[in-house]
Amino acid sequence: MSLDFQIFCKSTYAEEFSPRCFGEYFQFGHPGNDPTYLDWLLRAWGWTVSVSLLALLIALVIGISIGTLRTLSRDSLFNKFCILIANAWVELFRNIPVLVQVFLWYHVIPMMIPSLKSFPSFLLVSIALGFFTSARIAEQVKAGIFSLPKGQRFAAQSLGMNQVETYRFVLLPIAMRIVIPPLTSECMNIVKNSSVAFAVSISELTLFAMQTQEETSKGIEMYLAVTALYILTAFSINRIMALIENKTRIPGFISGKSPS
């Protein structure tokens, strides 16, 4: 099997080599070059990263909020109502396959809410992916908070803290540190799950591979390049999360290794 990676320097306009590999974007004083498959690959990578990061932002904000709401103590009507809503959210979004959710956001919901029709599909996919992941993150945050001894909540209350202060200063700081490892997995999953965006015409890495292997009949090279970029992206996120875990560690607590 021989691999021909020079294909990436070919122009997407014609079956010719472009004078420069970065035809379109990095012209270095050679304007007017045709875009190459390398340009297209990088643009596709940009879409994958953009969809993943926006979805991750949505997932973290909603996931942490919903996860926290699920752990409220059932001592008032308001709390019970919040728990009900949060439980419903998690069950709704984790029981539907992610691809179906993407289709729902792209095809069905804009029919019901016409103002969504003007939304770019990039945003709709990010919402779908973000909501799906938020249900998973909510479960992890809930598990993190429940893993704390009950006495912590009581101690905070006996100090005169109200509900918001209890979470803000006592429960969440430790619980969030505990759930960093499963959150790392979720953050990496979101990059991998972003490949479903091809189904609604986002020209991200998966769509790039599917289209270019047909155009160039160099499927192996295209898929290898795409695989490498997925690994690079997911692994970068892994390293960033490891860094965060390391920097926020408190020696002596559950989440911190004993000082060495």
Partner 1 sequence: MNPYLIKSPMKNFKKLSPVALTLLLSWSFLSQANAAGTLEKISASKTITMGVRDSSGALSYTLGDGKYTGFHVEICKRVIVDLEKKLKTSIKTDYQVVTSQNRIPLVQNGTVDIECGSTTNNATRQKDVSFAVTTYVEEVRIAVKADSNITSIAQLANKKVATTTGTTSVQLLRKNERANGINFEEIFGKDHADSFLLLESGRADAFVMDGSILAGNIANSKNPKDFKIVGEVLSVEPIAIMIRKDDPDFKNAVDTSIKAMMKDGTIAKMYKQWFMEPIPPKGNRVGLELSENTKNAWANPNDKPAEEYLKK
- Closer residue to partner 1 in complex, CB, 117/168: 117
What minimum distance in Å lies between the beta carbon of 16 and partner 1? 11
SS3 (DSSP) at 113? coil
Tell me whether residue 43 or residue 249 sits nearer to partner 1 (CB atom).
43
**Residue 168 DSSP label:** I
Q: Find the binder of partner 1 among 30, 80, 107, 192 (CB under 8 A).
A: 107
- Provide the strand spans (E) within the chain: none
Instruction: Provide the terminal-to-terminal Cα distance of the chain, rounded to the nearest Å.
Output: 51
Minimum separation from the CB atom of position 17 to partner 1 (A): 15
Torsion angle, alpha carbons of 46, 50, 53, 56, to 10: -130
How large is the angle between the packed helices 37-69 and 180-193, nearest 10 degrees? Answer: 140
Q: Does 152 bind partner 1 (CB under 8 A)?
A: no
- Contact between 121 and partner 1 by CB under 8 A: the answer reads yes
Residue positions counted in the chain: 260
Residues 14-73 that bind partner 1 (CB under 8 A): 14, 34
211 binds partner 1 per the rule CB under 8 A:
yes
* Sign of the torsion angle spanned by Cα atoms 159, 160, 166, 168: negative
Question: x-or-dash pattern for partner 1, window 153-192, by CB under 8 A?
Answer: ----------------------------------------
Give the residue carrying structure tokens 């472009």. 18
Among 5, 13, 235, 253, binds partner 1 (CB under 8 A): 13
User: Taking the complex as a whole, how short is the minimal distance between the CB of residue 198 and partner 1, in angstroms?
Assistant: 7
By CB under 8 A, residue 207 contacts partner 1: yes
Contact between residue 171 and residue 97 where contact means Cβ atoms under 8 Å apart = no
- Is 214 near partner 1 (CB under 8 A)? yes
Burial (CB count within 10 angstroms: exposed 0-12, middle 13-18, buried 19+), residue 160: exposed
Residue with smaller CB distance to partner 1, 12 or 134: 12
Burial of 13 (0-12, 13-18, 19+ CB in 10 A): exposed
Q: How many residues belong to the site for partner 1 (CB under 8 A)? A: 16
Q: Which stretch binds partner 1 (CB under 8 A): 69-77, 152-160, 178-186, 193-201?
A: 193-201
Query: How far apart, in whole angstroms, are the C-alpha atoms of residue 70 and residue 86?
Result: 6
Residues that bind partner 1 (CB under 8 A): 12-14, 34, 107, 117, 121, 198-199, 201, 203, 207, 210-211, 214-215
